[in-house]
Amino acid sequence: MSSNFNPDELMKIFGSLKMPNMPDFQALAESQKRNLEALTSANRLAMEGAQAVARRNMEIMQQVMGEMSQAVQSLSATDDSPQHKASLQAEMMKKAYERAVANMQEVAELIQKSNGEAVGVLNRRFSEALEEVKSLVHKG
């Protein structure tokens, strides 16, 4: 029984196959490290933003409570007519509403700024990672 196995033919077949180039594992590891650093940075920014929002909410609540206490004291201390007291209450409510809306806008801007910074870090890293992948592909 004769063998048709020809090592030279086998080498030609393997030589004609386009084998993908091995990736640069060091470059991939460095890229993943930068990805993790970007995620860590984005999470830190988000946490700092959340803490800033919580602090500002607490400041607003303390301010509102102080103003309410002062308003109640000032209304109870006057001997004005019921109509005048009602007018003062209406004016205080209008000012309180305007401050509440301004405070909500301020807090919303804080949240938007914080989220924007965190997303910006991730977007920059994503763009860098795409360029790194292109670079690795073109090296091979």
**Average pLDDT, stretch 120-124?**
95
Distance CA 39, CA 54 (A): 22
CB distance 127 to 26 below 8 Å? no
Distance CA 130, CA 34 (A): 12
pLDDT digits (tens, 9 = 90+) for 96-112: 899 999 999 999 999 99
Q: No. of H helices and E strands in the chain? A: 3, 0
What pLDDT sits at residue 117? 94
Assigned token pair, 17: 């196959």
Nearest to 90 by CA among 78, 75, 105, 79: 75
pLDDT digits (tens, 9 = 90+) for 9-23: 766 776 666 655 656
Q: Provide the 8-state DSSP code for 52.
A: H
- Torsion angles phi and psi, residue 13, rounded to 5: -60, -50
- Is the model more confident about 21 or about 50? 50
pTM of the predicted model as reported, rounded to 2 decimal places: 0.65
